[in-house]
Amino acid sequence: MFDAALAADERIEPRDWMPDAYRASLVRQIAQHAHSEIIGMQPEANWITRAPSLRRKAILMAKVQDEAGHGLYLYSAAETLGTGREELLDKLHSGRQKYSSIFNYPTLTWADVGAIGWLVDGAAITNQVPLCRCSYGPYARAMVRICKEESFHQRQGYELLQTLSRGTEAQHAMAQDAVDRWWWPSLMMFGPPDDESAHSAQSMAWKIKRHSNDELRQRFVDICVPQAASLGLTLPDPDLRWNEERGHHDFGAIDWSEFHEVLRGNGPCNEERISRRKQAHEEGTWVREAAAAYARKHSDSLGEAGA
Ligand code: 3HC
């Protein structure tokens, strides 16, 4: 049944039989996706109190709140596979589960908010649109809503950079500096090269991953080159050039040692991100307890009404 459903490009739903390994790989990926969303709130939140205008502040607050909502959606998708949020957050806090390497870099200037929107959310869209066709129903459906919001995230970042790039010399330089720092880490978001990807072959056989890491990375580079030109900004890669034969842009070598260092916990902000996350979890205990007490009381009264 499971194989026939996959072959027919049908969705696997929570109550369908599925191989334990399929379930485990989905929990792994969805959990880390959710962790990335909530950790990803930190770099940008750093600028909410220092946004240069009320309009920019409102946009940034909306975006950071969206990321929290994406995390909620994805933890809920993981719960349909039988794994509760508490367990996943515990694994995040204890380093037994990851979040995207990209969020271990600092946001040094206001232009970083634009570079994150344009590049990080842009990469997320390139990676997440195919996930709307993922074989597991709840994950694919969560992606449809998330991708719509990511488009707003990418657009506001692009427009922010455009404003700076067309501003004073100092503003243009700030935008260029941010793009220089966020370009290569954004390419690492797509995962290791295909020949080093532990999960890709099986993930593609299960129609979870629909395109390989390198394919989506190439797609993202091809999208960004003309956008950088229209922004009046350059991408920090001297080997970047159009290859007529391939019909794609050739680009320089990615520093995978940096990628592995960040995954080992040695990125610029790994410590700070996890300690801030744990602190927020601690401080939110009363909210969880209050919500649980309300749910118990509410369900009792619901029970009486039902009786
Ligand atoms: N950062 C951290 N870990 C990474 C990574 C990265 N950039 N790229 C790969 N990895 C990890 C994988 O999780 C896997 O480790 P694990 O076995 O402990 O899970 C290992 O490196 C090997 O990588 P694979 O390519 O074999 O793993 P996958 O097949 O899972 O592919 C992936 C990696 C492409 C990131 C895939 O998991 C995926 O598409 N995930 C869903 C999307 C996602 O999580 N995006 C992260 C950013 S979310 C975001 O940007 C939010 C936006 O609002 C800003």
SS3 at position 8 = coil
Closest alpha carbon to 205 in 124, 132, 141, 135: 135
156 pLDDT tier (thresholds 50, 70, 90): very high
Structure token digits, residue 89: 């957050």
Give the model's pLDDT for residue 299: 86
30 alpha carbon – ligand 1 mean position (Å): 9
CA dihedral 175, 272, 262, 154 (to 10 degrees): -40
Which tokens is 303 given?
A: 């029970």
Strand-pair category, 248-250 with 241-243: antiparallel
Task: Kindly tell me if the per-residue pLDDT of 306 is higher than 90.
Answer: no
pLDDT at 134 over 90: yes
Residues of the chain with pLDDT > 70, as a percent, come to 97
Backbone angles phi, psi at 236, to 5 degrees: -75, 60
Which ligand 1 atom sits nearest the alpha carbon of residue 121?
54
What pLDDT sits at residue 176?
A: 98
Nearest 5°: CA angle at 112, between 110 and 116?
A: 135
Candidate of 27, 35, 36 to mutate for ligand 1, largest count of ligand atoms within 8 Å of Cβ? 36
pLDDT at 303: 59
Q: How far apart are CA 151 and CA 207, in angstroms?
A: 24
The model's pLDDT over 83-116, given as tens digits with 9 standing for 90+, comes to 999 999 999 999 999 999 999 999 999 999 999 9
Spell out the residues 6+ positions from residue 192 whose beta carbon is closer than 8 angstroms to its own: 213, 256, 259
User: 108 alpha carbon to ligand 1 midpoint, in Å?
Assistant: 25
Residue of 197 and 303 predicted with greater confidence: 197
Q: How far apart are CA 298 and CA 289, in angstroms?
A: 14
The secondary element (H helix, E strand) that includes residue 29 is helix 20-39
> What tens digit of pLDDT does each residue of 239-265 get?
999 999 999 999 999 999 999 999 999
No. of helices (H) and no. of strands (E), the chain: 14, 2
Residue 142 has pLDDT above 90, yes or no: yes
Distance, in Å, from the CA atom of 221 to the CA atom of 95, rounded to the nearest integer, reads 31
**Separation of 29 CA from ligand 1 center, angstroms?**
7
DSSP letters spanning 70-105: HHHHHHHHHHTTT--HHHHHHHHHTTSS---GGGGS
Torsion sign, CA atoms 75, 77, 79, 82: negative
Instruction: Name residue 230's amino acid.
Output: S
Q: What residues are in contact with ligand 1 under a 6 Å CB criterion?
A: 28-29, 32-33, 36-37, 40, 67, 70, 98, 100-101, 120-121, 124, 127, 150, 188-192, 197-200, 203, 209, 213, 263
Q: In this predicted structure, what is the pLDDT of residue 203?
A: 98
Tell me what percent of the chain is helix, strand and coil, each rounded to the nearest 5: 70, 5, 25
What is the atom index within ligand 1 of the atom nearest the CA of 28?
Answer: 19
| Residue of 64, 88, 107, 189 best suited for mutating to test ligand 1, as the one with most atoms within 8 Å of CB | 189
User: 93 CA distance to ligand 1 centroid (A)?
Assistant: 17
Ligand 1 atom with the smallest distance to the CA of 131 is 39
Question: pLDDT tens across 166-218, in order?
Answer: 999 999 999 999 999 999 999 999 999 999 999 999 999 999 999 999 999 99
Cα–Cα distance between 283 and 229 in angstroms, integer?
45
How does pLDDT run across 26-38, given as a tens digit for each residue? 999 999 999 999 9
For 45-58, what is the mean pLDDT? 97
Mean pLDDT of the chain: 96
- Which atom of ligand 1 lies closest to the CA of 191? 8
Backbone angles phi, psi at 191, to 5 degrees: 95, 175
Kindly tell me if the per-residue pLDDT of 307 is higher than 50: no
Residue with tokens 């404003």: 163
- What pLDDT is recorded for position 100? 98
Distance 170 CA to ligand 1 centre (A): 35
Residue 248, strand partner residues? 243
Q: How far is the CA of 3 from the centre of ligand 1 (A)?
A: 25
pLDDT band at 304 (very low <50, low <70, confident <90, very high): low
Rounded to whole angstroms, the Cα distance separating 247 from 138 reads 35
Closest-lying ligand 1 atom to the alpha carbon of residue 37: 51
